[in-house]
Structure 1
Amino acid sequence: MNKNKLILRIPFISLFCLLLTGLQAQSLRALLEEEKTLVFAHRGAVNPEIPENSMKGMKQALDSGMYMLEIDIMESQDGILYLLHDRTLDRTTFGTGNISDWSSKDLDNLGLKGTEEQLPRFADFLAEAAQNGLFLMLDVKNAPLDKVLNLVEAADMLDRILLLTFSLERAQEAFALNHRFLVSVLVKEEEEFDEYLCKSNDPYQLAVYLNKDADLMLYDRAKKLGLPIITDVMGNIDRQGMDDPTIYREFVQKRNPDIVVSDYPVILKHVLH
């Protein structure tokens, strides 16, 4: 297939992505071993002005040279997965009420604010992400993990995603799946490291999410254990970093995380690299 046909087939692809052939062949775990700080776009948008969890956000990210997106997943009344952060539709769509009260037939015709598109199905977003060589961080708000991962496997994206979990119960649900993929667990206390390591069947596929204001000792412990570290700079750090980029640099130098999630990922990436 020549380049012209490729561009026609993949509407959201950018010249930047065409130059990333070597990168696209890598797994997320392999990238983490290169000891670079990877930057993910919070809710799939390169800034808060762009509609979150949208196809438009994906296109803007690709056009900005961002190929790592954090997205949120919710389930409809009839079990179809959609990109949505809140349990309710009110803030980001032209619908009202809980998404769990809506059928996919109605959701597929529901407009997303700030775009000319409908609320995106997770399966459709995955297909575009796979074609464009993206890496995804999945925050599954309210849906069975096996359903989510079955779609990820069908899109051949298991080695390009990281699943966020924020409780031991959710982490155990992830560990029990037959799929092999990166799982992030939230650690707030030092003893939780051993607890999660014992529960996991494959520590190589384990990553640690540490709060931005967590004790630096937890960051050191994660490094000594060889566990990839995820954190975020949303809120005050992002706002301060917009005016003074050294804030970003100092934050990362103190903690040495492997992944940082930001509302302004293009700016953060530029500062760090």
Structure 2
Amino acid sequence: MKKNIHLTYAVCLFIVMAAFLFVGCPLESEQHILEKTPDNLLFVEESTRNNYGSSVTMWFTTPEEIGATSYTLQYSTDNTIWNNFQSYASDLVTTRLDQDNFSIDINYDCYLRILISGGTYDGQTSNETYCTRCTTVGYFSNNGLGEEVTNTGVIAPNVGYGLLASFRVEDPTDSTEIEDCLNYQWYRLDPEDYENQILIPGATSLAYTTTQEDRGYRMLIRATGKALDVSASEYDGRFNGFKQLKAIFIVK
């Protein structure tokens, strides 16, 4: 009789644990059913400056993923008149179907977008994003956005799961850290439209715990140089670049 009780208990415990894992762990397919369109194509990750000039790094859905043949980067200084971005006196165009990024030098603050050639979206443009030029030397190193269960004890992407970001800015001349130069801000990023970003009041630390209001969104943290956020003279000459990281998971 005792053996049967122990066996029944073991079976029940197994069922409970299996159910928890099934509900708590996101299936891979759940995170890849989001349709890729021009509205969620472009993500500008960072603006920094090295000894040679201001550099901007951006990522995008590859042309082959949406059935396009190529992309052309475009810019605007007023969000009205758009021109093709020039690199070595030629339009900056993807050279491979699986290309997923551009890294460019800019001399001004500007809006960026991508012009799509070929396929279903031929002639259409991507989401637009504003990019500030970094004018002080500094670059990001050893950055990351952790979404592990150890952050809060809740498994992503369920409400209550935690994110923990890390950023480091270094001086390119000697690789030493530039300390106390960043401010942080969390946003809700619409996974279907990257132009829709909602600032979360008070969420200004490296750690964030998701809430009911975050359901359906990806979380995004933006680290900006304090000189970019504050015009006071005490920040003159301080780092004024930015970097933003978006979560893998969509909160559910």
Give the TM bin, normalised by the shorter chain.
under 0.3
Larger-Rg structure: 2
Which structure's residues are more often strand, by fraction? 2
